[in-house]
Amino acid sequence: MYCCAHILNLIVKEGLDVIVGSVEKFRNSVVFWWNSTYLMLNSALIYKDVFARLKQREPQYNCFPSEKDWEVAKEICDRLKLFFEVTELFLGTKYPTANLYFPKICEIRFSIYEWKNSTCDEIRIMASSMISKFEQYWDVILGIMAIATILDPRQKMKLIEYYFSIIYGDGAYTKIEKNQKICDELVGQYRLTSKLSEEVHHFPTNSSSSQAREVRLGKVNHMANFDASVSNATSIASIKSDFDYYLEEPLMPRDEDFDILNWWKANASKYPILHAIARDVLAIPVSTVASESAFSTSGRFVSPHRSRHHPKTLQALMCTQDWLWTKFNGMN
């Protein structure tokens, strides 16, 4: 199973592979290794005049981009900016929780479908290729994304309903009901397996002994069956009540500094079952790779020489790199 960053990388690569000729001149014009096609094009557009001067001074410079190439480069760069920003959000020293993934993926879905209507042929080709790759993973990750989104008290089912109504139109209700059912089943499973629910031991009484005697005699105790039915219905209601009560509560204000992990920690006693689910679901890492390698085609960052180091030495090098990156980028 791929992490989110890997999926984004596959989608971008799928789109760029079909328009490789449109950016080849820019890549050949620069001798440095570019880990990101977006950064390469973005920098090239800034220094457009430099390319023209280089052409005048260097007769052997035979990969000068035409005006059409520049137009295509700008179109591609504008589209890749979305992927770059989403990747930067998901990756780095501070890994985000899974609840942030769903709205960003929906934005990407809206965008690549919109790109199919572009007047630029290259963008339409790129969009079609990206959509094909995107749809391979959409249904696979949708369930866990929806659960993580619902566990965000600022969004709950409201964000699911909003995006599904745009994506699926008349079919949104079916999709929403499906995700609601998944959540209900998950709550039920956690309630059955959680230590929060203590097993109740029943001891035989005179009444139960009498009922057992009636069964042996072939009699059916309908009142006992009725009591069992009511008890079962009450048990089912109690399973849903924790989740339903959470959904009925007003949404929390949309604050960018909101700490969802602290919120669930503070509300553990109020929603014990959901707290256990949130603890497991929100702990799922959105990505397992570093931001600098998200769009990278340069392979492994650990060279064959460094791979011979002792594991503790490699761990020290990796930690030091993260700490230095954090310091230089002004993060705590």
Q: Which two tokens mark 151? A: 């566990």
Coil, strand or helix at 66: coil
Count up the domains in the chain and report the number: 3
* Residue 92 falls in which region: left (phi positive, over 0), alpha (psi -120 to 50) or beta: left
Coil, strand or helix at 19: coil
239 and 298 share one domain: no
DSSP tag of 186: H
Encode the chain (332 residues) as per-residue pLDDT tens digits: 556 666 666 677 766 665 566 566 555 555 443 346 677 777 788 878 877 787 778 777 777 777 887 888 888 888 888 888 887 777 654 556 778 888 888 888 999 899 999 888 888 888 888 888 888 888 778 888 889 999 999 999 999 999 999 988 888 999 899 888 888 888 888 888 865 454 544 444 454 445 545 545 555 566 766 676 666 655 555 545 678 889 999 999 988 888 899 999 999 999 999 999 999 998 877 665 554 444 444 444 455 555 566 778 877 877 787 677 666 665 54
241 and 319 share one domain: no
276 and 309 share one domain: no
218 and 73 share one domain: no
Closest CA to 130 of 76, 54, 51: 76
Radius of gyration of the chain (CA): 28
- Structural domain for 218, as ranges: 206-248
Inter-residue contact 101 to 155 (CB < 8 Å): no
Confidence (pTM): 0.63
Please indicate, yes or no, if residue 157 is contained in any of the structural domains. yes
219 and 99 share one domain: no
Please indicate, yes or no, if residue 310 is contained in any of the structural domains. yes
